[in-house]
Amino acid sequence: MRNLNVTVLGGGSWGTTVASLVARNTPSTLWARNPATVTEINTHHTNEVFLPGATLPNKLFATTDLGSAVRDADVIVMGIPSQSFRQILLEVKKHVRAWVPVISLTKGLEKGSRMRMTEIITEVLPGHPVGVLSGPNLAQEIIAGQAAASVIAMEDAIIVQELQAVFTSGLFRIYTNTDVIGCELGGVLKNIIAIAVGMGDGQGAGDNTRAGLITRGLAEVTRLGVAMGGQAETFAGLAGMGDMIATCTSPQSRNRHVGIQLGMGRNMEEIVGEMVMVAEGVKSAPAVLALAEQYKVDTPIFRDVYRVLSGDTSATRTFRGLLRVEAGAESEPG
């Protein structure tokens, strides 16, 4: 394993964190667009914009040259936002060797096509083993050395076990799964629920309200995820419930932050304009709602969050509606 060359594409908080974890096990290269970020990582071993206060491993090497980063890679890790994912992957295609595994870190859907990131990888790079790394992974805590767990999912049980050791580092524990669809959708869909929870938090809702929204949200996520081909038990695991709890409760959660600001009466332009990092739930909401309609799954929380994000209604009005919805059997939507 120590002879594997791993390239992580994306110099944001999670891409930098994953590259740092991998660097403890095997040669790790980080590609980033911003020359200043690359210089900072190589010279000072920091990335203050995305990981303030963190010290990165001396062995981590960063570059702006995509070709050189990819050409000799034995594993490629994609930490690219969903709406730029395909564009970067098309550049990767010009340089990557055959059969190199490609792992996605991105928890979003492509606008228009509604495709998951692993579906895009399969379409652009046919023949390459494809996987996803997902779970309750707040970058600031992990880079600080706090205990955390994640899941790497690939259909090939042999390759996934080999890669498990690449990402396991210190107190960061990796579990394996062969349910790529379920693990990937868990990371995507929980972002919408986190926005809903944030809307409540922004209006002063209590712990009981938050718990109710998370629980009913997990039911929506599971219904849609299973309809799309995921396994129900996956959504009760780290890539489902675990990721949702972290994203819906942590002050570090970008999607919860968006919801809080909406709950306080601010508009989307102001909120997004102040953010350095991407809140994938905002980008994915239209695709998620379209998929729910396509698969004929009733998702009232997804629907109401989308209406707020699109400006059709206010967070206050929508959140009160969520609380007043008529309750039926717990196994039913609503």
pLDDT in tens, the chain (334 residues): 558 999 999 999 999 999 999 999 999 999 999 999 999 999 999 999 999 999 999 999 999 999 999 999 999 999 999 999 999 999 999 999 999 999 999 999 999 999 999 999 999 999 999 999 999 999 999 999 999 999 999 999 999 999 999 999 989 999 999 999 999 999 999 999 999 999 999 999 999 989 999 999 999 999 999 999 999 999 999 999 999 999 999 999 999 999 999 999 988 888 878 876 767 888 899 999 999 999 999 999 999 999 999 888 888 888 766 655 555 556 666 6
Please count the other Cβ atoms lying within 10 Å of the Cβ belonging to residue 3: 7
Which residue range is the domain that position 146 belongs to? Answer: 6-178
Same domain, 286 and 309: yes
Domain termination residue (choose one: 178, 194, 225):
178
Same domain, 11 and 141: yes
Same domain, 174 and 188: no
Same domain, 166 and 228: no
Catalytic residue numbers read 190
Which CATH number characterizes residue 287's domain? 1.10.1040.10
Domain termination residue (choose one: 133, 151, 178):
178
Same domain, 151 and 246: no
Burial of 112 (0-12, 13-18, 19+ CB in 10 A): exposed
Domain termination residue (choose one: 163, 178, 193):
178
Residue 316 and residue 28: Cα distance in Å, rounded?
A: 46
Same domain, 153 and 191: no
- Domain count for the chain, please give it: 2
User: Quick check: is 213 in a domain?
Assistant: yes
Q: Where do runs of H (alpha helix) occur along the chain?
A: 13-23, 35-44, 66-71, 82-93, 117-124, 139-143, 157-167, 180-202, 207-227, 243-249, 254-263, 268-274, 280-294, 300-309, 315-324
44: amino acid identity, one letter: H
Same domain, 146 and 233: no
